[in-house]
Each structure stands twice: as C-alpha cells, then as structure tokens.
C-alpha cells in the first residue's frame, strides 16, 4: 500500500550541518533519566534528512544509534562514543481509510487518538506505552491484550544506504521482537479495522487505570526490564526471589511492580546494571531460570548492544570530544561532495523524492 505522506522539506548540506550537535546529554531524552552524553546528536525533521544524516555519520566511520522516545533504553554513564539520531521530530501522520501511515517519531498516544478519531478500533491495546511508532515497531510493543505487530502492514526502513519496504513474514513479529534487526525504521503503515470506537475508548480507560494501579508510573523507569520467560511472569519470579524493593544508590526494584527498576533520584547506569545482575542471579538461584533483557542498552563504545545501532568503524581521532556549542560542523563537513545519496526504492511511500 502506498498512501504516501506530504512532501518533505529539502535537506541541503548546510541544513544538515545545522542539525548536528556535539556532546548532548542523553539522560533527559530517556524515561529512566540516567546515562551520559553522545558525542554527536541530530534530530532530523524529515525522512530525507534522517537518511542523509545517517549516511554522513556512517561515511565518517562513526558508530550510529537510533533513539525514539527513549522509553526502553538504558544509556551507559559514559554516554556514547558515536552519533545518536533521534526520530522525535519525524512526526507526520496520515490516516487513510483503514490505514494509518506514520513516521517513526509519532508518539503512540497520538497514533491511538488518530485511530479513534477515524473510527478505527484496536490500537487502544497500546495505551500507556510511552514510545514512538519506530520503537514500537522494532520492539513489537504490546501487552497481554495485544501488540503492535499484527497491525503493521508495511515498514519502510533504511538498510544501510538503501530504502527497503518490508511486510508480512519478513517483519518476523513475535513476543517483544521483530526481524527488523539493525534496519532503521522510517515509516510504518498500520491497518486497523473500523470498529466500535466507544467500546475502544472504554477499554483504553480500563487499561490506563490498570497501569496506574500496578505500575510505578510516577517515577522514572524504562518499563519492564526483563521479558517474561515462556510460561512465567518475570515480575512474579523476581518477587518470589525477594528482590522487590531492592535498592542500589538511586536505583530500586519497584516495590509496586518487581519487573520495573525505578530511578528514585540521581540513579546511575552502573547502579541499574548492578540491580539487573543481582535480580538475575537471585532468580537463577531460586528458579533455575535466566531472565532475558527487554530493556535495550546503549554502551559507550559497543554500539552493537543497542539493537538499532551500527558500528561502521572507529570514531575519528580529531577533536570529537570538544565542547563547542550546538552549531558544530558535521564530522567532515568540509567534504560536502562526500555526501552519499541513496537511491530510494521506487514507489516506497513518503521518502525522499
């Protein structure tokens, strides 16, 4: 399906340079509020700008990581020695019949509201998940009531320099995972059936009330830390292992929901990691079950640990740690002709002309 979004503003090399900032603290950009700074950071405002930013960073040999709303991410205290590209300004959303075409940075709350406004019911299962469409498409975000995956008809993504369109089995949706791997999600086409919007709204209110009752929504967190092992609830296993309320510095295993680690103020990534290890060890000892992380991590130098990060080589040695303000040149900005322009897949919706 090719509904297409409105034409994007043209990205010029000088515009790209203006977009890029140095030494940007990532903690405020995550819901857990911990972690250090990224050496390079950009918030592109169009898919074309995102593609060009990523290409430029890669061409300069920088490790690259993609950030949505940062609601499932633990950033190292040392930050990230590479470039973070945040999708939050990629927020165009077009309803079309039973379809919603959304850029990666559209918030799930806005997506649900748009669906309801157009008579579509089903997205309310995502109510209260504080992520973006891109993050949710990668993670197959969801709850016991349903997940994003079954509603995704098509994903337009960057695979290196190439714009690709994936659909059906190629998306590989399963519990909190997809086959998107290191591809960067640009745009998602969702198909949501028409339905009883009043009933959908009532379900949404119930889901939100349930969250407030069972989750520590008033404190910074990154949602569930571990996935549920087959046949088990991670929260229950952690609770039975005596970890509820366990504290290390400013980080704590939530007394309300054992699968949440909350930041009670001034928590560090090291403290969160300590709790993760301790919880894992206690659950393994008591139950003989290894807990897998649902949380994604962004480590200072190992971009591969953030699912959507790519390591294209070592960062350049020259001056990439200096603090010189928000209008720094892009790495290698003098070499404008070195900007590679990818060939978009013909007919793909909403990407560069």
Ligand X SMILES: Cc1cc2nc3c(=O)[nH]c(=O)nc-3n(C[C@H](O)[C@H](O)[C@H](O)COP(=O)(O)OP(=O)(O)OC[C@H]3O[C@@H](n4cnc5c(N)ncnc54)[C@H](O)[C@@H]3O)c2cc1C
Among 46, 165, 221, 268, binds ligand X (CB under 6 A): 221
- Of 130 and 315, CB closest to ligand X: 130
E strand intervals along 78-122: 80-86, 93-96, 99-103
Among 36, 44, 68, 122, binds ligand X (CB under 6 A): 68
Q: Which of residues 100-119 bind ligand X (CB under 6 A)?
A: 104
Q: Count Cβ atoms below 10 Å from residue 265 Cβ, excluding itself.
A: 11
Residue 79 as a binder of ligand X (CB under 6 A): the answer is: no
Distance between CA atoms of residues 292 and 234, nearest Å: 9
DSSP-H helix ranges across the chain: 13-19, 47-59, 108-117, 133-139, 197-214, 234-240, 269-287
x/- string (CB under 6 A) for ligand X, residues 302-331? ----xxx-----------------------
Give the gyration radius of the chain's Cα atoms. 20
Q: Which stretch, 20-28, 132-140, 191-199, 272-280, contacts ligand X (CB under 6 A)?
A: 132-140
Residue 331 Cβ vs ligand X, minimum distance, rounded to whole Å: 20
Residue 14 Cβ vs ligand X, minimum distance, rounded to whole Å: 25
Residue 65 as a binder of ligand X (CB under 6 A): the answer is: yes
Q: Estimate to the nearest angstrom the gap between the alpha carbon of 126 and the chain centroid.
A: 15
Among 135, 235, 315, 350, binds ligand X (CB under 6 A): 135
Residue 138 as a binder of ligand X (CB under 6 A): the answer is: yes
Among 46, 72, 252, 254, binds ligand X (CB under 6 A): 72
Residue 156 as a binder of ligand X (CB under 6 A): the answer is: no
x/- string (CB under 6 A) for ligand X, residues 2-41? -----------------------------x----------
Q: Estimate to the nearest angstrom the gap between the alpha carbon of 341 and the chain centroid.
A: 25
Distance between CA atoms of residues 309 and 183, nearest Å: 9
Residue 296 as a binder of ligand X (CB under 6 A): the answer is: yes
Residue 132 as a binder of ligand X (CB under 6 A): the answer is: yes
Q: What are phi and psi of 70, to 5 degrees?
A: 65, 30
Residue 234 as a binder of ligand X (CB under 6 A): the answer is: no
Sign of the CA dihedral with 251 first, then 254, 255, and 258 last: negative
Q: Count Cβ atoms below 10 Å from residue 322 Cβ, excluding itself.
A: 11
CA distances from 308 to 53, 102, 145, 231 (A): 15, 19, 26, 28
Which residues contact ligand X (rule: CB under 6 A)? Answer: 31, 65-73, 87, 104, 129-132, 134-136, 138-139, 141-143, 184-185, 215, 217, 221-223, 296, 306-308
């Amino acid at each position: 399906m090719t509904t297409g979004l409105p034409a994007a503003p043209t990205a010029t090399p000088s515009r790209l340079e203006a977009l890029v900032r140095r030494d940007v603290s990532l903690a405020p950009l995550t819901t857990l509020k911990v972690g250090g700074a990224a050496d390079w950071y950009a918030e592109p405002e169009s898919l074309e700008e995102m593609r060009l930013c990523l290409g430029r960073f890669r061409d300069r040999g920088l490790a690259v990581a993609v950030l949505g709303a940062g609601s499932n991410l633990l950033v190292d205290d040392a930050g990230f020695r590479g470039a973070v590209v945040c999708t939050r300004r990629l927020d165009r959303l077009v309803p079309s019949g039973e379809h919603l075409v959304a850029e990666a940075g559209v918030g799930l709350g806005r997506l649900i509201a748009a669906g309801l406004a157009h008579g579509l019911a089903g997205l309310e299962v995502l109510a209260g998940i504080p992520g973006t469409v891109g993050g949710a498409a990668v993670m197959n975000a969801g709850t016991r009531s349903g997940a994003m995956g079954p509603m995704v008809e098509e994903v337009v993504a960057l695979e290196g320099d190439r714009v690709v369109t994936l659909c059906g089995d190629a998306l590989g949706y399963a519990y909190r995972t997809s086959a998107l791997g290191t591809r960067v999600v640009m745009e998602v086409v969702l198909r949501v059936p028409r339905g009883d919007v009043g009933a959908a709204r009532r379900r949404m209110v119930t889901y939100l009330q349930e969250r407030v009752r069972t989750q520590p929504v008033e404190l910074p967190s990154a949602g569930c830390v571990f996935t549920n092992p087959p046949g088990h609830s991670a929260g229950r296993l952690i609770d039975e292992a005596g970890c509820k309320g366990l504290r290390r510095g400013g980080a704590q295993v939530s007394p309300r929901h054992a699968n949440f680690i909350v930041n009670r103020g001034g928590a560090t990534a090291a403290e969160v990691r300590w709790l993760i290890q301790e919880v894992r060890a206690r659950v393994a000892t008591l139950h003989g079950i290894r807990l897998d992380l649902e949380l994604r991590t962004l480590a200072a130098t190992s971009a591969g640990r953030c699912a959507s990060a790519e390591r294209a080589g070592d960062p350049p040695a020259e001056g990439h740690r200096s603090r010189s303000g928000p209008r720094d040149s892009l790495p290698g900005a003098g070499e404008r002709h070195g900007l590679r322009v990818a060939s978009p897949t013909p007919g793909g919706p909403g990407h560069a002309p």
